[in-house]
Amino acid sequence: MTSFVQVTSSAPSNNNNNKIKTVRQKRSSILSPLPEDSDEEEPQAPKPPTLDDFIPTGQGVFLTEGDDSFGDDNGNGQEVCSDEITLNGLNGDCFIDNEFLDGEFVSDDSSVQSTDEDYDTDLEVNEEEWLHPSKNDYHDTTGKKKYMKVCSDMGIHPVSYIVNNLEQKELKLRFHGLDQLSIKAISIPLETNTNVEILNLQGNGIDPLGARCLCRVLRENLFLTEVVLSENKIGTEGAIALCQFLKGNRNLIKVDLTDNEIGDSAGQSFYEVLKGNKSLKELLLGNNHFEENAATWFGDGLSENDTLEVIDLGWNPWKTRGAVCLAEGLAENVGLRRVRFVMAGLGKLGAQSLMDALLHNRTLQELDISYNRIPVEGANCIASGLKTNDTLKILKIGNNPFDADGAMVILEAVESNETCAINLLDFSNIMVKIEFKKIQDRLMTERNMKITNEGVLPDTQTDPETFAKMTAFRKDPIEAFKRHVYNCGVNMCDVFNVDNDLKLSVVDFKDLIKGAGIDIQGQHFSFLMRVLEENGNVNYWRLFDKNSNDEVMESGNPGKPRVTIKIVEEPRPKGKKSAKDRSESAKSTKKKKSKDKTKKK
């Protein structure tokens, strides 16, 4: 190979040529192999020249370096022609560096450029790959080419939606009906994808084998932070495989395995995840098949974990003993902020254990314990825990059998706690007392607290008849309203325009029945509106029953069908006359008095 290093000079001199020959001899003596069995003494090498001697001021010299070998197989040094040696005078540098001048030659490739096209090298450079790196697989950060190639090899059609969204932050493939081959085809490009951070594969029927393919993705890809696999068929085996990966993962923040038919035997694997994983913040495992054994493992895992912030274990077939283990683990946890124990079977004993959690836990902000068979005694335990708690903000405790008494105890505990941070109390499907409503209004005004319930019960002690009427009205508001109208002596066809299918607003409907002399309580009116209201208007035609033959009223319009109102007279105590009987009795009494006056005259 011939290399050129250039230093410009205006006029080379004989003195410089002599110096160059001296350097050539020095270099040849250093790089040439030593002769074997030589009896002659080696001549003393001349003093090496300096750069100042080589490069005179205002002058330049052209020298050429010969072949790199500087010797043949027989040990004879190869002569280097002075015309082939070049000095690089750029900024005073020279290919003969300090190492060479000190007697050692060190090759510096940065100052040598090859011009030999036939030069052999073990580095095969593809010009197309070098000029266009984005066109090659190892620079394809999205994995599109890999996906297309894998689909071609498997004989399946690539999905254009997948190709177009591999560059997005979230790859959402919800309910796409992906089979086993499709999952494998997606897994391969996702291993090297650097764009997708959220992978949503909800509702695709992924089985344990598909879960193993995803394990490889989660192991290789360091950019994924959220994985949603809810409503699949991963099962116990697939969940255990995922846990083997999750316990050592350091980049995932959220994992959703809701409704995946995961069995009780996977509890120990999730315990290892809770114990070993320090990056996972949200774990959703609701609506699976965990039972008592898994509850024990989860309780221990929660007590040892201090990084998880959100967990959902609702709608699993826990029993009371398992629910107690979960509550005890929550009491010892120091990191959870949101806990969902819906339909967890807490009962009375579970509520007692939860009381300790509310007393000692200082990180929990949201707790959902709806549908947990908590009786009044359990509600008292919850109230005891809330008397000193200052961190809980949301408490959902509806659809439990403690009724109005338990709700009242809990609300009074919240009111008595001046440091209470609760801003939402949910008593869904629970009727409350009038006293509850008074405290609720006060808390909503003073603390801006939102409290939901099913409605207010009347005072059953002072007016039991009102309670019975309200219960009957709730069962069938339309029939109850018809009976009420009949007892008021009002004809519904005189009140409502049955000739036209008109809809009234709620305000107009209320004013109409009030103007007709139909007095109805506020709660009864609310129940009636739930049945008649449609898109903000009242469809009063539902008040008319066309199938009954008890009483027929003509609408007066020949083109209008006959409208029938079914009227069931409200049962009366013995000895009490109906409005019709009282009216007829009054008429007969009046006629009798007039006859008596006539006779006296």
The Cα 150–Cα 181 span in angstroms is 10
pLDDT at 186 over 80: yes
User: Which pLDDT score is estimated for 543?
Assistant: 74
| The pLDDT value given to residue 335 | 92
For 10-143, where are the alpha helices, taking DSSP H only?
A: 14-31, 51-54, 98-101, 127-131
Which pLDDT belongs to residue 44?
A: 54
Is the model's pLDDT at 572 over the cut of 60? no
Min mean pLDDT across 46-50, 301-305, 325-329, 510-514 is at: 46-50
- pLDDT per position as a tens digit, 285-318: 999 999 999 999 999 999 999 999 999 999 999 9
pLDDT tens-place string over residues 366-413: 999 999 999 999 999 999 999 999 999 999 999 999 989 999 999 999
Greater model confidence, 338 or 507: 338
Residue 7 clears pLDDT 90, i.e. is over it? no
DSSP string of 228-281? E--SS--HHHHHHHHHHHHTT-SS--EEE--SS---GGGHHHHHHHHHH-SS--
Dihedral of CA atoms 236, 238, 239, 244 in degrees, nearest 10, equals 130
Whether residue 129 is predicted with pLDDT greater than 50 in this model: the reply is: no
Nearest to 367 by CA among 308, 426, 320: 426
Domain coordinates in residue numbering, the chain = 14-111, 464-564
| Span 213-217, average pLDDT | 88
Give backbone dihedrals phi and psi of 103, rounded to 5 degrees, phi first.
105, 0
Q: Report CA torsion sign: 268, 271, 277, 282.
A: positive
351 neighbors 379 (Cβ within 8 angstroms)? yes
- The residue-averaged pLDDT of 156-185 equals 90
* pLDDT at site 455: 87
* pLDDT class of 326 with cuts at 50, 70, 90: very high
Cα–Cα distance for residue pair 425/196, rounded to 1 Å: 38
Q: What is the mean pLDDT of the chain?
A: 74
Most confident of 216-220, 237-241, 492-496: 237-241
Hey, what are 491's tokens?
């004809």
Higher pLDDT, 364 or 532: 364
